[in-house]
Chains A and B, each alone.
Chain A
Amino acid sequence: MATVAAVIASTHHPFYYRASTSSGADRPPFADEWVAKIEAFRETLTRARADVLVMIGSDHFHQLWLDNMPQFLVGKAPYYDANYYNEEREFGLPRMFLPGDEDLSAYLLRQGMDAGFDLAFSNELRIDHSITCPLITLRPQADLPIVPVYTNIFAPPLPQPGRFVQLGQTIRRLVEAWPSDKRVAIIGTGHLSLELGGPRQFGPHGPDPEFDRKAVEWIASGNLASALAEVSLESLWLPGNATHGFMDFMLMMGVAGENAKADYVDSLDLFHTMEAYFTWYPAEGGDQA
């Protein structure tokens, strides 16, 4: 059976690429600290020696649109082109080309549907920054095959938070039962409190530092009970109007498991939003550092 070599959850910040590659007067004052944190975080994936990456993210109205909006979608293609003109325009993100793992995609689709998730699929999917940002931070050579999993955190009506957790639990169980000798890392990115296109955007910190503090604690300790008790589709509007991306963190808490303490936790308080980085090593039953 396959091995879950690492479970990794993080924020995805589209400004990282530009900040980390800029120099001189263009280099923001926080760039060096940010790069140091990312390089340490990257080591947590490198150390896991993964063969394939299941990548959980959310399309930001690039390919998926309101005339035909899936709630949960699995890519099944041999390759994925990645990043869009408007991400190049706004964030300076590079175009990327990623290999896929069709066998694992097909397996997750079939078994996921049989486990109660009527997953949508795509045989021609162009990936956006919710998946390329973690590749840029964690695996910049982008050489490992991926299985993209997209969730709808963006276009109401959204699935309930509990459904994200259940999907994470299902993905974990299915990957562990995959008849393969491969080492699989399951990586997902979301947001802590975040405001986009509203009065609280681009402040000196994230819009709700108290929510961020609690959220980091829930994730780091695997406290699904508290997260599920306190978070609802309605409550997520309060910390910031783009905070439904936190449900991708809840999905990753489902992957990591109830009360699974993260083996690696780091965060960085930036303007506009807080960055947070978590890694679990389920196969080794704890930190292998």
Chain B
Amino acid sequence: MSKYLVDKFLFTIDRDPDLVERYRADPRGTVAWWEAERANVILNCPEAERSTWLRFTDAEREALAAHDYVALFELGAHNFLLLTLFIALFERDYDEPLAFQREFAARLSHWTVPYPDIST
């Protein structure tokens, strides 16, 4: 499990408008690039002083590459990061206000508490 890294991906994409568009247009390529180039950058350190050990599990990498927010929820991705980024990615494709958010809820309707643990 590398929930922290999944959250770091969601966090660093969500805060950058160019990366939001890049991840929307090319999810698989963006995930591969990000894991190779960005996953080990410590956000408050010079880029050379990076970590050496962070990588996704196969399930995490595939869920991110497939825009599969149900799988990401089930893997314990942070619910707020997940919702915020996926609204940015897909709300625009729906005519009615909040229609994407309601579909997101409906696709998780097989879940009751306790939900997957989001602790990192």
Residues of A participating in the B interface, judged by any CB pair closer than 8 Å: 60-62, 65-68, 84-86, 89-90, 154-157, 195-203, 237-238, 241-242
Q: With A and B bound together, what is the CA distance between A202 and B87 in angstroms?
A: 13
Measured CB to CB, the closest approach of chain A to B10, in angstroms, equals: 9
Could you tell me if A65 and B114 are in contact, using CB atoms closer than 8 angstroms? no
Enumerate chain A residues within 8 angstroms of B73, measured Cβ to Cβ.
Answer: 197-198
Measured CB to CB, the closest approach of chain A to B51, in angstroms, equals: 10
Q: Does B1 contact A (CB under 8 A)?
A: no
* Interface magnitude class on chain B: 35 or more
Enumerate chain B residues within 8 angstroms of A200, measured Cβ to Cβ.
Answer: 105
Could you tell me if B44 and A196 are in contact, using CB atoms closer than 8 angstroms? no
Q: Does B53 contact A (CB under 8 A)?
A: no
Could you tell me if B88 and A199 are in contact, using CB atoms closer than 8 angstroms? no
User: Total A-B pairs in contact (CB under 8 Å)?
Assistant: 79
Enumerate chain A residues within 8 angstroms of B114, measured Cβ to Cβ.
Answer: 237
Which residue of the partner chain, among A67, A86, A90, A241, contacts B79 with CB atoms under 8 Å?
A241
Enumerate chain B residues within 8 angstroms of A157, measured Cβ to Cβ.
Answer: 119
Q: Does B66 contact A (CB under 8 A)?
A: no
Could you tell me if A61 and B81 are in contact, using CB atoms closer than 8 angstroms? yes
Q: Does B11 contact A (CB under 8 A)?
A: yes
Residue of B15, B44, B102, B110 ringed by the most chain A CB atoms within 10 A = B15
11 interchain pairs (CB within 8 A)?
Answer: A62-B15, A65-B11, A65-B43, A66-B8, A67-B44, A86-B14, A89-B88, A155-B120, A196-B83, A198-B108, A199-B106
Q: SS class of chain A's interface: helix, strand, loop or mixed?
A: loop
Measured CB to CB, the closest approach of chain B to A166, in angstroms, equals: 23
Measured CB to CB, the closest approach of chain A to B116, in angstroms, equals: 10
Q: Does B118 contact A (CB under 8 A)?
A: yes
Measured CB to CB, the closest approach of chain A to B90, in angstroms, equals: 12
Q: Contacts A61-B80, A66-B8, A85-B17: A198 and B44 contacting too (C-beta < 8 A)?
A: no
Enumerate chain B residues within 8 angstroms of A86, measured Cβ to Cβ.
Answer: 14-15, 84, 88
Could you tell me if B113 and A237 are in contact, using CB atoms closer than 8 angstroms? yes
Could you tell me if A242 and B101 are in contact, using CB atoms closer than 8 angstroms? no
Identify 14 new A-B residue pairs, CB closer than 8 A, beyond the known A61-B81, A198-B105, A201-B104.
A156-B120, A157-B119, A196-B83, A197-B82, A199-B105, A199-B108, A199-B109, A200-B105, A202-B98, A202-B105, A237-B114, A241-B113, A242-B79, A242-B80
Enumerate chain B residues within 8 angstroms of A90, measured Cβ to Cβ.
Answer: 84, 87-88
